[in-house]
């Protein structure tokens, strides 16, 4: 009966090791431990007399990228007219009134509010992919009244007018809109991630290009879903579109220890690594990505899942190599 006790102790040690390492991974992955449902009620509403109201966080958006974005890239001409009334001066983010973007980090153009300042971000050859550095016009929203905002972009020139008065007139590159992405959606009242809400009323949102004029505060132009998905970033379902070398290295190396542990425990019992040995790595990474839907500061990514799996596979290789070296050394010692 005595040999059973060491065997039992070994099994307990294996389970404790796996659970402890898994817990460590979860503690790191779920930081900063702020939990909330990714779906909240969309408070945007169409008014009976026309226009939109955002009395609480909401969004209306196009179902697909505007067809005129390709024309804008060719002509480098775009005019945007907004008739709006803010609900409060205490809005930040900047709070998105009008945006053509993918998420808080990638955009073509955004008109927003930061306290009493009008904020404008335009993606050009002189800015980064987020339209930074941004332009700010102070005092625009100091009064909670109806405002006419006009943004005009043309080759070599940017002009912004408030209530018919020019408040910004400065040079742009001769081909300012060549960097525009034609896949981004247009939205009013929020960022596509739902975490940059603007509160107020929108009576008019008109886009004029070299080829067409579109009024977006018209029935059928924009989609108003009953639910708003709120997150820090849009989940990356298509991997490796936004490369970050540092994050990629961390995602690979971070799962090497877990893969090595799993591999070593399997080798102790089977002396080989079946194909299913990678499944614990996949399940752990997949579980982390899914749970991150409920953490506003984190976001799931297929890219992370693939890189974590690669790291786990490298860990299995490390375990197999160390095991083979150890087994060879033991065999040679036995022969001596």
Write the pLDDT tens digit of every residue in 75-110: 999 999 999 999 999 999 999 999 999 989 899 999
Asked if the model's pLDDT at residue 1 lies above 50, the reply is no
Q: Name the residue ranges covered by the structural domains of the chain.
A: 4-35+237-335, 40-229
**Does residue 305 contact residue 248 with C-beta atoms inside 8 Å?**
no
pLDDT the model gives residue 241? 62
Residue that the structure tokens 């299995």 belong to: 316
Tell whether the model's pLDDT for residue 236 goes beyond 80.
no
> pLDDT tens across 272-308, in order?
889 999 999 999 999 998 888 788 767 788 889 999 9
Share of the chain above pLDDT 70, in %: 90
Read off the pLDDT of each residue in 120-135 and give the average, rounded to a whole number. Answer: 96
d(Cα 320, Cα 323) in Å, to the nearest integer? 5
Mean pLDDT, residues 149-173 taken together:
97
pLDDT band at 149 (very low <50, low <70, confident <90, very high): very high
Cβ 87 vs Cβ 55: under 8 Å:
yes
Query: What's the Cα-to-Cα distance from 27 to each of 83, 146, 242, rounded to whole Å?
Result: 47, 48, 26
pLDDT at residue 29 in the model: 86
The answer on pLDDT for 162 being more than 90 is yes
pLDDT at 247: 84
- How many C-beta neighbours within 10 Å does residue 215 have? 12
pLDDT band at residue 328 using 50, 70 and 90 as cut-offs: confident
Of the CA atoms within 13 Å of residue 317, those in its CB half-sphere come to: 9
Q: Which of 145, 129, 137, 130 is nearest to 113 (CA)?
A: 137
Tokens of 8: 């039992």
Q: In this model, does residue 160 exceed pLDDT 90?
A: yes
Burial class (CB in 10 A: 0-12, 13-18, 19+), 9: exposed
**Chain centroid offset of residue 252 CA:** 20
Cis status, amide bond into 22, omega within 30 of 0: no
Protein fold of 40-229: Jelly Rolls (2.60.120)
Query: If pLDDT is split at 50, 70 and 90, which confidence band does 335 have?
Result: low
Strand partners, 122: 109
Between 177 and 293, where is the model more confident? 177
Phi-psi category of residue 32: left, alpha or beta, with phi > 0 → left and psi -120 to 50 → alpha: alpha
Q: d(Cα 273, Cα 322) in Å, to the nearest integer?
A: 13
The arithmetic mean of pLDDT across residues 135-154, rounded, is 97
Helices H / strands E in the chain, number of each: 6, 16
Q: What angle do CA 118, 82, 139 make, to 5 degrees?
A: 25
105 or 4, greater pLDDT: 105
Residue 34 confidence (pLDDT): 77
How does the average pLDDT of the chain come out, rounded?
A: 89
Cα angle: 3, vertex 7, 11; to 5 degrees: 170
pLDDT, residue 195, reads 87
Residue 251 CA to residue 303 CA, distance in Å, equals 9
d(CA 298, CA 130): 19
Helix ranges (H only) for the chain are: 4-29, 69-75, 245-254, 256-270, 279-291, 302-335
Structure-block tokens of residue 254:
């971070």
Q: Given a cut of 70, is residue 243 above it in pLDDT?
A: no
- Angle at the Cα of 119 from the Cα atoms of 93 and 241, rounded to 5 degrees: 65
User: By percentage, how much of the chain surpasses pLDDT 90?
Assistant: 65
pLDDT at 8 over 70: no
* pLDDT at 198 exceeding the cut of 80: yes
pLDDT at 51 over 90: yes
């Amino acid at each position: 009966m005595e040999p059973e006790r060491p065997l039992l102790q070994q099994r307990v040690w294996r389970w404790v090791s796996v659970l402890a390492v898994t817990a460590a991974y979860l503690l790191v992955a779920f930081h900063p431990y702020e939990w909330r449902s990714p779906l909240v009620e969309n408070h945007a509403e169409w008014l009976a007399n026309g226009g939109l109201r955002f009395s609480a966080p909401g969004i209306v958006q196009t179902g697909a990228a505007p067809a005129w974005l390709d024309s804008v890239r060719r002509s480098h001409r775009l005019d945007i007219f907004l008739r709006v009334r803010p609900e409060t001066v205490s809005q930040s983010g900047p709070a998105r009134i009008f945006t053509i973007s993918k998420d808080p980090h990638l955009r073509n153009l955004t008109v927003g509010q930061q306290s009493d300042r009008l904020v404008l971000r335009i993606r050009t050859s002189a800015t980064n992919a987020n339209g930074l550095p941004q332009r700010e016009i102070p005092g625009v929203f100091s009064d909670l009244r109806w405002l006419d905002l006009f943004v005009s972009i043309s080759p070599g020139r940017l002009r912004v007018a408030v209530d018919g008065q020019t408040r910004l007139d400065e040079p742009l590159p001769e081909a300012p809109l060549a960097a525009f992405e034609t896949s981004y959606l247009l939205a009013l009242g929020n960022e596509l991630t739902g975490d940059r809400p603007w509160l107020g009323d929108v009576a008019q949102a008109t886009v004029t290009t070299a080829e067409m004029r579109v009024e977006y505060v018209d029935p059928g132009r924009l989609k108003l879903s009953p639910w708003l998905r709120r997150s820090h970033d849009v989940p990356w379902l298509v991997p490796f579109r936004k490369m970050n070398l540092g994050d990629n290295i961390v995602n690979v190396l971070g799962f090497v220890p877990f893969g090595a542990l799993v591999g070593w425990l399997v080798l102790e019992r089977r002396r080989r690594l079946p194909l299913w040995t990678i499944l614990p790595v996949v399940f752990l990474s997949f579980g982390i990505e899914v749970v991150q839907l409920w953490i506003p500061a984190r976001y799931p990514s297929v890219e992370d899942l693939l890189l974590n799996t690669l790291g786990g596979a490298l860990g299995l290789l490390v375990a197999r190599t160390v095991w083979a070296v150890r087994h060879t050394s033991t065999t040679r010692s036995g022969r001596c």
